[in-house]
């Protein structure tokens, strides 16, 4: 009977030892597994660095896009303003051409009646010069 009690105590102690080792975890890692873990950590660091770089590039591209969009909006506004100005100038030019055409139609008959022809003017100038020569000859 003492033997059975001792065996029971030994089995209980072994069970407690196994359970305690199982609960506390094993701190032993095989070298191959440690190497694999280190490789994964270094890959994780390089991927994290790449991710950070890509996020920075994305942020800079987003800023450039926003700046270019602002320029496009500004140029579109200026284009609209210039188009409005051009339309106004074309309208005023058309109105001025119409007024000029009306004035030219009205002024043409009056100008023909009032203005002497070029030949008449030359004859009048020649007559004016003749008396001057006559007075200078005396």
> Which has the closest alpha carbon to 30: 22, 38, 21?
38
Predicted TM-score (pTM) of this structure: 0.45
> Cα(33)–Cα(26) distance, rounded to whole angstroms?
14
DSSP 8-state symbol, 94: H
Beta strands in 4-137 (DSSP E): none
> Cα(55)–Cα(32) distance, rounded to whole angstroms?
34
Per-residue pLDDT reduced to its tens digit, 38-70: 999 999 999 999 999 999 999 999 999 999 999
Q: From the DSSP assignment, how many helices (H) and strands (E) are in the chain?
A: 3, 0
Per-residue pLDDT reduced to its tens digit, 5-35: 888 888 888 888 777 766 666 667 788 899 9
Residues near 116 by Cβ (< 8 Å), separated by ≥ 6? 124
């Amino acid at each position: 009977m003492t033997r059975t009690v001792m065996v029971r105590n030994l089995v209980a102690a072994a069970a407690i030892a196994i359970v305690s080792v199982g609960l506390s975890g094993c701190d032993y890692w095989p070298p191959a597994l440690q190497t694999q873990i280190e490789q994964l950590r270094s890959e994780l660091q390089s991927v994290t660095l790449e991710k950070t770089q890509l996020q920075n590039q994305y942020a800079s591209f987003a800023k450039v896009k926003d700046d270019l969009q602002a320029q496009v909006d500004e140029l579109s506004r200026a284009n609209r303003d210039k188009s409005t100005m051009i339309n106004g100038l074309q309208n005023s030019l058309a109105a001025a051409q119409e007024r000029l055409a009306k004035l030219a139609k009205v002024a043409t008959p009056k100008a023909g009646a009032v203005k002497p022809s070029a030949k008449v003017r030359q004859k009048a100038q020649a007559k004016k010069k003749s008396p001057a020569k006559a007075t200078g000859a005396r």
